[in-house]
Structure 1
């Protein structure tokens, strides 16, 4: 009997995952990860870890499986929270959920599970694992979940072959309503529990409060850039190569304060992210204002009216070599190779047609259509059919 350790989070998805594995004849152990102690920044009643660990314990009791709690808050602070502060300080927008899967669930947690004699770890993610043979070697695939509305493969876009080899995703073939039905049928306490929102394991966080723990408020200017600004109406140069064109399409516009007009003040450029609409507190515009760029050095937020503002739209992005990751290492592109894919730059975004171009220093992703708010620090993930092949941090 193979032993599986399930990350029981106190939610319905991991509860049903544990039940299905037990039904399939695995020896199942439930482990709850405690990753956070500071209630001062969480909107407490939204996702207190105490309630979650109690729910996880009740589920384990109901299923008749052993249960324990592990405290990973030290590793979580070092690998996720400190990384987040660091990225925001640089003016980038991190994705802690992607990091949390790579660094905590499938690294720290996986190592604990293996020490407990586990053959696999399992989570309640809506995605699937495939195994194919290539030249006598097993290759693991990360496949989208069957439920299009809930597919969570994007959050696992940084996993390695080694991590996937030890992973099981028991609910990947099910839809969310089917998962809830199973939980109801067997009388699990989590059957009708709302999905947790917000940071992986921390719950709903007041992000400015959270960031203010480390990043001090600093008053600065909000500058509005007009759609008619000449930056957007320059003649496109003639390109001598594909790479030159891609460098131009993915370039970052260098805004200056005198490119627009001052429309308000803010408490710190590092609290804002590209595409953000809430929190600017500037009224009186015909269309709502969106953040089109932030300058953390000068502490200026650049904004534009309407979600079709040219400052928000781009057709290409770049990923540096050191932030480029292939799940399917056997399919990694060599310099000057290209590949037709479908890609997304955020969770839940419908997949977009794109072409990958490998160059010496990294990888360009060129989209067929304009993309809104391509944001440095976020992850781009690319797929072939329903298989996630690789990902990278947008630079």
Structure 2
């Protein structure tokens, strides 16, 4: 009997994960991760982690499996929260959910589980694991979940072969309605529980309130840039090389105050992100304003009217070598090699046709059609068919 430690979060997905593994004859242990307990920045008064740990305990009791809580709040603060503050301060927009999986669930938590003699760690993610043999060695694949509406492979885009080798995703072959049906039939308390919203483990948070703990408010101006600006009509030069072309298309405009008109004020450029529409509090425009860029040095937010504003779109992005990650290390490109891929720059975005070009110092991802709100600090993940093979932080 192989031993599996399940990250029981108090939600329906992890509850059914534990139930299915027990049915399959594994020796199952439930662990609840307590990762955050600063209630001063959550929106609602309810204490989410207390309620969740209680539900997780009731599920474990119902399934007759051992259960304990582990407090990882110190590691979570160091590796996730501090990183977030740092990225926002630099004018980048981090993805805490991707980081949380890489740094907490599949690193700190996994080490605790293995310390308990576990053969595997299991989570309630909607994705699948494949195994193939290549050159006499086992290679692990991260495959999209069967439920296209819930596929969470993107959030696991930073996992390694080592981490995948010790991981199980029992609900990846199921749809969400099927998972709820199993929970109902097994009489689990979490069967009808709503999916959690908000930052991974922090719950519902007002992001500016959260960031204001460390990043002080600083009044600045909101500038509206017209879509008629002549720098959007760039002259396309004659390129001497493919790399020169990619560099050209990956560069974003550099905005100055003189490029538009001041239409409002804000409390800190570092609280905003590209593509954002809410929170600007500027009225009187024909179409809603969207953030097209932020300048944290000068503390200016540049905006444009409408979601088709040219300032939102770019065709190409760059990932530096130190932020480039291959789940399938055997497929990693060498300099001057290319690969046809499908890629996404945010969770739930439909996969887009693209080509990845490896150059000295990093890789360009060149999309067939320009993408809206390519945002520094976010993750781009690339797929071959339904397999996520690599990812990187947009630089």
User: 1:155 maps to what in 2?
Assistant: 155
Change (3 A) 1:146 1:45: farther
User: 2:294 maps to what in 1?
Assistant: 294
User: 1:360 maps to what in 2?
Assistant: 360
Query: Aligned partners of 1:389 and 1:370: how far apart in 2?
Result: 22
User: 1:336 maps to what in 2?
Assistant: 336
Give the stretch that moved more between structures: 226-235 or 371-380.
226-235
Displacement of 1:204 in angstroms is 1.0
Displacement of 1:237 in angstroms is 1.3
Indicate yes or no: 2:122 matched with 1:134.
no
CA offsets 1:292-340 (integer angstroms, 9 cap, x no match):
0000000000000000100001111000000000000000000000000
The answer to whether the 8 A contact 1:47-1:196 is kept is no
User: 1:76 maps to what in 2?
Assistant: 76
Query: Aligned partners of 2:168 and 2:51: how far apart in 1?
Result: 26
3-state SS of paired residue (1:117): coil
3-state SS of paired residue (2:59): helix
3-state SS of paired residue (1:162): helix
3-state SS of paired residue (1:349): coil
Query: Aligned partners of 1:315 and 1:23: how far apart in 2?
Result: 48
Displacement of 1:46 in angstroms is 6.4
Change (3 A) 1:293 1:46: farther
User: 2:314 maps to what in 1?
Assistant: 314
The answer to whether the 8 A contact 1:317-1:366 is kept is yes
CA offsets 1:267-286 (integer angstroms, 9 cap, x no match):
00000000000000000001
Q: Which runs of 5+ in 1 are unaligned?
A: none
Aligned-residue RMSD, C-alpha: 0.7
Query: Aligned partners of 1:251 and 1:370: how far apart in 2?
Result: 13
Q: How many equivalent residue pairs? A: 395
CA offsets 1:34-90 (integer angstroms, 9 cap, x no match):
001101111235661000000000000000000000000000000000000000000
CA offsets 1:329-369 (integer angstroms, 9 cap, x no match):
00000000000000000000000000000000100000011
The answer to whether the 8 A contact 1:127-1:172 is kept is yes
The answer to whether the 8 A contact 1:379-1:391 is kept is yes
The answer to whether the 8 A contact 1:220-1:269 is kept is yes
User: 1:48 maps to what in 2?
Assistant: 48
User: 1:208 maps to what in 2?
Assistant: 208
User: 2:34 maps to what in 1?
Assistant: 34
Q: Which runs of 5+ in 2 are unaligned?
A: none
Query: Aligned partners of 1:165 and 1:119: how far apart in 2?
Result: 10
User: 1:384 maps to what in 2?
Assistant: 384
Indicate yes or no: 2:236 matched with 1:242.
no
Displacement of 1:22 in angstroms is 0.4
Moved over 6 A (4+): none
Question: Counterparts in 2 of 1:184-223, with a 5 A limit?
Answer: 184-223=184-223
CA offsets 1:122-175 (integer angstroms, 9 cap, x no match):
000000000000111000000000000000000000000000001000000000
Displacement of 1:238 in angstroms is 1.4
Query: Aligned partners of 1:128 and 1:234: how far apart in 2?
Result: 44
Question: Counterparts in 2 of 1:52-201, with a 5 A limit?
Answer: 52-201=52-201
TM-score (norm 2): 0.99
Change (3 A) 1:55 1:223: same
Query: Aligned partners of 2:188 and 2:115: how far apart in 1?
Result: 29
User: 1:350 maps to what in 2?
Assistant: 350
Displacement of 1:253 in angstroms is 1.2
The answer to whether the 8 A contact 1:15-1:190 is kept is yes
